[in-house]
Amino acid sequence: MARTIQRWAAVLALGACLITWQAAPASAAPPLKDITSRYVGSAVPATALANEADYRTTLTREFDSVTPENEMKWASLEPNRGQYNWSAADSIVNYARQNGKSVRGHTLVWHNQYPGWLNNLSAGELRAAVQQHITTVMTRYQGKIRAWDVVNEVFNEDGTLRDSIFRQKLGDGYIADAFRWAKQADPGAKLYINDYNVEWQGAKSNAMYELVKSLRQQGVPVEGAGFQTHLSTQYGFPGGFQANLQRFADLGVDVAITEADVRIQLPADAAKLSKQADYFDQAWDACQAVGRCVEFTTWGFTDRHSWVPGTFPGEGAACLFDESLKPKPAYTRINP
């Protein structure tokens, strides 16, 4: 009888242990910034940062780098010649400094979102304006910006240089000049060329590769190559992405994924979200595998503020978190 009681006591104790184990909640995944030695960043709109507490909390928890989404573009900073509006850009930089985040500056010279008054300048005036803009902005944030997208989207899809206002009036040499002026303004910042649709080896990425190679041979301080990585599940994942990152790294520059998102045809469903997760995971793994891939930044982290629906009708849900800031399968695929 005593043995029976002991046996039942043991069974009950074991059952209690099992019940306790089954009821224990799964531990929360660590933040993305804590699972890699790379910077993990997001583009950030100043209004959301200022006005949405849940947005700010998630950003602070998950990321250790921020990129001003529009606040440092020329048209935002200097809509009227000589009249700068620093408030929004300053708010993001101040947030980063107060919360131990690094900042990616975006962007100094771009064919889009520049102020209209540039169109009225002569070649000489435009050259002086570009130099002054780079010097003024970078000097203001000297020591506070880890890396800058100095020139952005300078290539057409066929690999030719984009016929922007800068190329039209200043010639191809404006790219080298921009890097030289940037290095003079903030010697400590890493200086990048940044573009989209360069994730696989083809005409556009080959042209960027040859330009980086040529500029470095000339002593131009190009120190990084940014791969925006705006992807769509309608198309295949870029073949040879890791090898492409590596060949740029072999030129002696850092490489970074600077604007990642993966858009899907709406409405989202489980299969589409799973494919999106595959793409994010492959991009993440490619960066982790390349020693000089120093950053994985997404172009916004929540569908609440994604640029995609406004640019690609019928597409969206492109971010790691949904509109309610709930992690999506892409997040848990990267951070299981």
Q: Is 62 a catalytic residue?
A: no
Euclidean distance between CA atoms 318 and 127, whole angstroms: 38
* 69 carries an active-site annotation: no
How far CA 86 is from CA of 71, 78, 94, 107, 140, in Å, comes to 8, 9, 12, 14, 10
Sign for the pseudo-dihedral over CA of 307, 308, 313, 317: negative
- Residues 54, 75: contact at Cβ < 8 Å? no
Which of the following is catalytic: 153, 199, 223, 295? Answer: 153
What are the beta bridge partners of residue 196?
Answer: none
Q: Residues 71, 78, 199, 259: which is the catalytic one?
A: 259
Cβ pair 198, 208 in contact under 8 A? yes
CA distances from 65 to 6, 33, 295 (A): 59, 9, 9
Instruction: Specify whether the CB–CB gap between 249 and 293 falls below 8 A.
Output: yes
What is the C-alpha to C-alpha distance for residues 206 and 199, in angstroms, rounded to an integer? 10
- Answer for the pair 158, 205: CB distance below 8 angstroms, yes or no: no
Distance (Å, rounded) from C-alpha 267 to C-alpha 252?
Answer: 43
Cβ contacts of 247-252, under 8 Å, gap ≥ 24: 247/201, 247/209, 248/209, 248/212, 249/290, 249/291, 249/292, 249/293, 251/209, 251/212, 251/213, 251/216, 252/216
Residues taking part in catalysis: 153, 259
